[in-house]
């Protein structure tokens, strides 16, 4: 990890280079002293790094206090050795210096230094008074080495192959923002290919979790596997995205009872179970997200039929309407608990107008990358202004044009070309 790989706004634990089982810890006794302590994953051991023009603020997740030096500089504009480091309401700027050379540890480590000073952050060892206290000292020793390990946010996305590329684009977009990615789907080649693509990117963690069925129990078992893989001491599940497998559009009288049961299982039973597990995971988070001030975001991917009824969309409309109302009722119930639930309406962006027109006009295209950007925007929204529902369409997508093209296409498949 280089200094460039320390990302502003993300959370890290600082492990000491000498006391390798000890981390930087804000005391829960006085909520001011900064001490060394064994790692337990509590919010008082999580530190948010905030980049400034020429340095970094280090902010405690539990209290919002900043790592700062106790008292002013002396007459030489310098801090004395063994000056204590404490939590402060006022931001204090630090410089990060990457340790290089033969004395460096196998893993990249940093020295945390006061600007315009030779004093650095270290665990005090000068007698019982300072033992275990974080302080400043000038001589560069192993006690001043710190490794930064990120507390990674996890995004769980179910149904990566159900939306013509948008699921894969969403996974790539969130991976680029530092999220670990949990890919959930029934066995298919796209799932394995996407996992390999993501894992080949430096610094990206991605794992697949196979659904053997769309039963509620299968969803529960997948979530148990996700939590085991992304252990809560180092990871926080912050985003869940459900992409329902869309029922095929057919004439109403051609729909079989088995198809209705399968669609009910996949689009209602599994969706409800996924939502339940996501919300339970969010409630395990002990701190609000910085910036958005929420515990987690649950997004349902729906379709046009949840708003506008089309021909040959009897079962599709039924299940998409159910998904839409599930999203809204969950938002009303869990919004006050700082859990954001949103419903995203995607038109069938493969069928807006004839293919020749779509290829010739950017205004008729709805790209997977643009959809992914909108999902990330939802997750970043502050709780003072949440979007409950997002209807995404290309610039030129009048309903009559879309409906006409879809009806002609469906009639051609069912009855042959129109006369």
SS3 164: coil
Q: How far apart are the first and last CA of the chain?
A: 66
Q: Report pLDDT for 363.
A: 62
DSSP one-letter code for 65:
P
Which of the pair, 408 or 136, is modelled with greater confidence?
136
User: Which secondary-structure segment (H or E) carries 229?
Assistant: helix 216-229
SS3 143: helix
Model pLDDT for residues 127-143, shown as the tens digit of each residue: 434 557 888 888 888 88
Q: Report pLDDT for 375.
A: 96
Q: Report pLDDT for 163.
A: 54
Model pLDDT for residues 155-204, shown as the tens digit of each residue: 999 998 665 688 999 999 999 999 999 999 998 888 889 999 999 998 89
Is the confidence at residue 58, as pLDDT, over 80? yes
Distance CA 333, CA 339 (A): 9
**Which residues of the chain form CATH 3.40.50.720?**
152-415
Q: Name the pLDDT band for 359 (thresholds 50, 70, 90).
A: low
What does CATH list as the number for 152-415? 3.40.50.720
Handedness of CA 119, 121, 122, 123 (dihedral sign): positive
Nearest to 95 by CA among 120, 71, 124: 120
Distance CA 94, CA 120 (A): 9
What does CATH list as the number for 3-150? 2.80.10.50
**Which residues of the chain form CATH 2.80.10.50?**
3-150
Q: Report pLDDT for 17.
A: 83
Is the confidence at residue 222, as pLDDT, over 60? yes
Question: Mean pLDDT over residues 383-394, rounded?
Answer: 90
pTM, to two decimals: 0.83
Entry field: residues in the chain: 419
Is the confidence at residue 230, as pLDDT, over 60? yes
């Amino acid at each position: 990890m280089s200094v460039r790989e320390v990302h502003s706004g993300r959370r890290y634990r600082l492990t000491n280079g000498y006391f390798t089982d000890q981390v930087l810890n804000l005391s829960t006794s006085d909520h001011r002293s900064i001490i060394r302590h064994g790692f337990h994953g509590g919010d008082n051991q999580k530190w948010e790094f905030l980049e400034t023009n020429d340095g970094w603020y280090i902010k405690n997740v539990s209290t919002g206090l900043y790592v700062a030096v106790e008292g002013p500089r002396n007459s030489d504009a310098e801090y004395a050795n063994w000056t204590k480091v404490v939590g402060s309401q006022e931001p204090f700027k630090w410089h990060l210096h990457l340790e290089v050379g033969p004395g460096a540890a196998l893993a990249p480590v940093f020295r945390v230094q006061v600007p315009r000073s030779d004093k650095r952050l270290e665990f005090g060892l000068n007698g019982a008074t300072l033992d275990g206290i974080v302080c400043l000292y000038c001589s560069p020793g192993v006690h001043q080495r710190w490794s930064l390990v990120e507390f990674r946010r996890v995004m769980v996305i179910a149904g990566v192959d159900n939306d013509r590329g948008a699921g894969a684009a969403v996974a790539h977009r969130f991976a680029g923002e530092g999220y670990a990615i949990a890919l959930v789907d029934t066995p298919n080649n796209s799932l394995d290919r996407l996992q390999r693509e993501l894992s080949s990117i430096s610094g990206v963690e991605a794992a697949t979790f196979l659904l053997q069925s769309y039963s509620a129990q299968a969803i529960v078992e997948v979530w148990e596997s996700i939590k085991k893989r992304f252990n809560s001491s180092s990871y926080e599940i912050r985003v869940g995205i459900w992409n329902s497998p869309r029922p095929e559009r057919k004439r109403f009288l051609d729909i079989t009872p088995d198809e209705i049961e399968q669609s009910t299982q996949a689009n209602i039973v599994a969706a409800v179970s996924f939502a339940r597990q996501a919300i339970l995971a969010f409630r395990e988070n002990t701190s609000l997200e910085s910036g958005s001030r929420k515990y987690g975001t649950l997004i349902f991917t729906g379709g046009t039929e949840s708003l506008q009824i089309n021909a040959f969309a009897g079962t599709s409309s039924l299940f998409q309407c159910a998904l839409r109302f599930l999203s809204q009722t969950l938002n009303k119930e869990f919004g006050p608990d700082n859990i954001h639930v949103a419903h995203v309406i995607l038109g069938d962006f493969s069928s807006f107008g004839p293919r020749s027109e779509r290829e010739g006009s950017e205004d008729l295209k709805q790209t997977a990358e643009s959809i992914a950007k909108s999902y990330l925007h939802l997750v970043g929204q502050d709780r003072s202004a949440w979007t409950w529902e997002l209807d995404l369409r290309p610039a030129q997508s009048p309903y009559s044009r879309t409906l006409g093209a879809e009806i002609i296409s469906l009639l051609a498949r069912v009855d042959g070309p129109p006369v």
